[in-house]
Amino acid sequence: MTRIPRRRPRALILVAAAGLLLAACSATDTTAGTGRDSAAVPDPGTGHLHGLGIDPADGTVYAAGHHGVFRLKDGSATRVAGRYQDTMGFTVTGPSTFLASGHPAPADPDARSPHLGLIRSTDAGRTWQTLSAEGEADFHSLVQAGDVLYGFDSQSGRVWASTDAGRRWDKRARIAALDLASHAGSAARVWAATGTGLERSTDGGRTFRPVPSAPGLVAVEEPEPGSLVALTPDGRVLAARGDGPWTRLGRLPEGGKATVLTAVTTQRLLAADSTDAVYESADRGRTWMLRHRPATGSEHH
């Protein structure tokens, strides 16, 4: 495990990294500082959100987006440690322990690569360490299923699997996934929401088959073995056992397109939409409470 170092790379590397980042997601600073002159540039807010979670250490809700990791409290979002890294594939795996992926800011003088690979924080996002795949992987989904960690890498278009906490990976099926789900009680089974449907693997992500009964889904969770909860693009919250049938539980408030779903427990859910609004449900998605809405939100694509 290597702490992300603070050293100035060659100018050529920085220019190349900046170009690649601007062509991909809106990028942010991962390793230290804000990566921007706050006196000259207005704070951009969270940016498009990619992950939500609750720290079991203190119950704080966290949101990860293009402009850092944020603590959500009393309707406001506070950037953790002033870090602006483009945080992707965010998941909470234990008390104050987060996994993520993404990109550093183009202006970050310490950036070594446009892709951070897998990074981990053990102090609730204040500092991060590189675990693996720096310069190679950009995980848009990360799922801890017992001893197996699954990631969907947007660069290779493959599901990756690790059995040593993300230090080494086995590259498995190629699939167009928006989100992955698995459960510790059935870790060989992996679900992939594709936007137009749902696919299932029973061999640890090596092969996938479509689930015929599933509608188009943008996010899926498996809070209990074989029990699924999912989001459609228009914000409907659906549930099913295995192959279905699918039952509508509720719907996100009107706003933007549904983008993120996290099942904290079978009853407690977090969700976000394309306006970067964050919602919470205590009744498995039947009703929703607004946790955060950007002061000047605009829909992202």
Report the side by side order of strands in the sheet with 247-251: 219-224, 227-231, 236-241, 247-251
**Average pLDDT of span 12-32:** 35
Residue with tokens 């966290």: 62
- Asked whether the beta carbons of 194 and 178 are under 8 A apart, the reply is yes
Q: Which residue has the higher pLDDT, 301 or 152?
A: 152
pLDDT tens digit sequence for 185-241: 999 999 999 999 999 999 999 999 999 999 999 999 999 999 999 999 999 999 999
Contacts of 233 (CB under 8 A, 6+ apart): 195, 216, 218, 257, 258
Residue 106's pLDDT is what? 65
Residue 56's pLDDT is what? 98
Residue 244 binned pLDDT confidence (cut-offs 50, 70, 90): confident
pTM: 0.86
C-alpha distances (whole Å) from 93 to each of 49, 122, 164, 176 are: 19, 10, 14, 25
pLDDT tens digit sequence for 166-188: 999 999 999 999 999 999 999 99
Q: Does the structure show a pLDDT above 80 at 36?
A: no
Residue 43 gets the label, from left (phi > 0), alpha (psi -120 to 50) or beta, of beta
Q: Does the structure show a pLDDT above 60 at 154?
A: yes
Residue 27's pLDDT is what? 34
Q: Which residue has the higher pLDDT, 276 or 39?
A: 276
Q: Which residue has the higher pLDDT, 292 or 41?
A: 292
Q: List the single range of 2-6, 43-47, 154-158 with lowest mean pLDDT.
A: 2-6
Q: Which residue has the higher pLDDT, 83 or 18?
A: 83
